Chains A and B, each alone.
Chain A
Amino acid sequence: MGATVTTGNNTENTWGGGNEPMGASYGKLMMWFFIISDALTFSGFLAAYGFSRFKFIDNWPIADEVFTHFPFMHGVEAPMYYVALMTFILIFSSVTMVLAVDAGHHMKQKKVAFYMLLTILGGLIFVGSQAWEWKNFIKGEYGAVETKGGSIIQFVNNKGERVKLEDFAIDLPGQREALTRDKGKWFMKDEETLTTYSVAEVQAGFAAHPELLVRTEKIYRDTPEDKANKKLQPGLNHNKKREVLTRAESEIMVANAAIVVEGANLKHNEYGSKLFADFFFFITGFHGFHVFSGVIINFIIFLNVVLGTYEKRRTYEMVEKVGLYWHFVDLVWVFVFTFFYLV
């Protein structure tokens, strides 16, 4: 064990290995090395996200319109509250972690174990919440149509309120049929999952509801040229919100419909830019993976605390090192929260 534990109190001279560079033990210094490289990895991802966002600054999804769910409050628009709760849970688990480190300094084994357990619980709740957030994002809410040009159009009524596809699409006979055994072939390719409504059904529904208008991906900026734009529906356009087209322009857009989009995945995204969904899945997924590994590492350290390993070593430095990692994961979330949900 002498090889793995450095307590820095040996009597050897500097050239004999008795010196600790920067006054930190080997293990802690290596954890800092790891954290710097991981921080730069996340910075790379977030900067790439920023790149794509600046590139499509005029048609980037508005986070308030995307993440609006809260558990057990079905149909209530609650933007941000749920992520705020998640952030709070993660900060709190950071606090219990630092309390565990503090208890370790006082060599209180039971307290360390208790706080480690709370930290693990916090981590698990956070990962679970993220899964729920993903589920809502993947499932979608209103549904949208992707045009031949690849842009997303959404539907609003004449008051500017969003309308769900199911509220106006018309069931047409013969649009879709169930696959029966006699039509099955052994070499059949997996077909893409069908959406609830076909393009023709949405188009027919749109034609039957004259009050419906199309909302494009583009963000209205209140500039003189935006104000002079005859294609936009008067009275419904607000600065920094999506543009709403007039009925005549809406019909042109709907005629261009290529596919129906429900929810989001790596190829299509009913909320707008596809890159938004890609970056959301990738960055929050990578962060969630960090939280998950953090929970596992925390659990291993927790077992060691309970078994008394660190009592025998007379130092709880391992708790400190895993604590550094855990705080770092919290730190990353603070930035993800800002750049995905707030800004």
Chain B
Amino acid sequence: MAHAEGHEQGSNIKRIWTVFGILSVVTIVEVYLGILRPDFLYMNNFISMNLLNWVFIILTLYKAYKITWVFMHMEGETASLRWSVVATVIFLVLYLLFILLVEADYIFEVFKNGTIKWNF
């Protein structure tokens, strides 16, 4: 951030508080939806996950983006640093999730359709 020094010194603090406001509002919306669990979101599915969970995950990623870009000052770093950090993590996490969740769903089907009884 030493490189960013010198420009927009005055407006930085204002920006921090704005982002804090955004993060708080997003959290409040999440909690509100988590308590209400509106049926039109909770009971409808999109790609085998209900819409409410999609909303939660998208809001979470938005919060993560704000924290990384503004608080960790990713926006002020060079593009090469920015993407070597972010792209690496995103790629590896997506890969890991794909493998594990597909596999887990398969095991669930085996348990469900097999002869194994657990609820006794």
Contacts and interface: CB of A to CB of B under 8 A. Distances in A.
Interface of A: 7-8, 22-25, 29, 32, 35-36, 39-40, 43-44, 47-48, 50-59, 64, 79-81, 84, 87-88, 91-92, 94-95, 97-99, 101-102, 105-106, 147-151, 216-218, 239-240, 253, 256, 315, 317, 320, 323-324, 327-328, 330-331, 334-335, 337-338, 341-343
Contacts of A315: 2
Nearest to A7: B2
A58 B112 contact: yes
Contact of A88 (B3, B24, B96, B120): B24
Contacts, number: 156
Interface string B35-75: 10000001100000000010011001001100110111000
Interface in B72-115: 72, 77-78, 80-81, 84-85, 88-89, 92-93, 96-97, 100-101, 103-105, 107-108, 111-112
A320 B1 contact: yes
Interface residues of B, number: 56
A91 B23 contact: yes
Q: Is the interface of B mostly helix, strand, loop or mixed?
A: helix
Contacts of B120: 147-149, 151, 253, 256
Contact of B101 (A50, A87, A342): A50
9 contacts: A25-B2, A43-B93, A47-B93, A80-B35, A88-B27, A105-B9, A149-B118, A217-B119, A315-B2
B16 A23 contact: no
B77 A23 contact: yes
A47 B80 contact: no
